[in-house]
Amino acid sequence: MNSREQKKLQTRYAFFNAVLDLCMTGQSFGSISLRQVTREVGVVPTAFYRHFDDMEMLGKSLVEDELGTALSVLRDRLQIGRTRSFDRQIAKSIQLFFQSVDEHPRYWQFMVSERFGGSEAVRTAIDNQIKLFAKIVGADLGLQPAFAHIDDNDRQLLAAAGLNLFLSWVIDWLDLTYTAELEDEIDEPALEAKKQQQLHRCTRQAQMLFYGAENWKSSEQTILEE
């Protein structure tokens, strides 16, 4: 990669970082203007179009390039059912998930905030990433003896339900960290106690979901009431 290409790539990621930083301040992606982003990056508005056709493409590219990578790393870490017992697998998976949130707080805040946001391109891109995540986790669940009796379709449904549960925890977890950072003096023992309480609560929720799935019979037909 020559210096010109490298500089172009750096500017592209500067746009990503500007959006993520603005969203962390409480703005929605749909409320961010092109001029606002270019001002954050330090370039003239016309320079934006050397990288993206419009703000929708910027948001879509951010999800695919940045959030997609973060999810890929998390998928590799989880490895559900491959090396640990079922009980410890759930607890360890929750720990790894929150570790990923702590490592990339802006990515996860953007994902959960914009998943149902005003930008169709961003919503679609996030939905595609979540579906891919669920598909891979669903296949990985097939390696867990506890779910061997469940068919592929139901394992996909279970993976999607689990992922939705995980995503519902993100904002509360981030609030613990960022609320503490805004305080003049951080009470580290109290903060750690709160995180452990949330970790315990989330682990119990996941255990209830996945233990319940052990008793599910894929052969049973769902009855829809008219």
- Tokens standing for residue 90: 């759930």
**CA–CA separation, 202 and 204 (whole Å):** 5
Q: Reply yes or no on whether the pLDDT at 98 is more than 50.
A: yes
For residue 180, the model assigns a pLDDT of 53
Mean of all residue pLDDT scores within the chain? 86
Domain-located, residue 128: yes
- Count of Cβ atoms closer than 10 Å to residue 88 Cβ: 10
**What one-character DSSP code corresponds to residue 67?**
I
**In this structure, is residue 5 part of a structural domain?**
no
Q: Could you tell me if residue 21 is inside a domain?
A: no
What are the tens digits of pLDDT across the range 143-189? 888 888 899 999 999 999 999 999 999 999 998 877 655 555 677 88
* Mean pLDDT of the region 116-129: 93
Q: Does residue 81 surpass a pLDDT of 70?
A: no
Considering the domain boundaries, does residue 207 fall inside one? yes
Residue 193 lies in a domain: yes
Integer Cα distance of 19 and 45 in angstroms: 15
In a domain, 147, yes or no: yes
Structural domains in the chain (count): 1
Q: What is the 3-class SS of the chain, one letter each residue? A: CCHHHHHHHHHHHHHHHHHHHHHHCCCCHHHCCHHHHHHHHCCCHHHHCCCCCCHHHHHHHHHHHHHHHHHHHHHHHHCCCCCCCHHHHHHHHHHHHHHHHHHCHHHHHHHHHHCCCCCHHHHHHHHHHHHHHHHHHHHHHCCCHHHCCCCHHHHHHHHHHHHHHHHCCHHHHHHHHHHHHHCCCCCHHHHHHHHHHHHHHHHHHHHHHHHHHCCCCCCCCCCCCC
CA dist., res. 173 & res. 156, Å (int): 26
| 176 part of a folded domain | yes
Q: Where are the beta strands (DSSP E) in 19-84?
A: none
In a domain, 43, yes or no: no
Output the pLDDT for position 226: 46
Q: 102 lies in which domain range?
A: 56-213
CATH classification at residue 110: 1.10.357.10
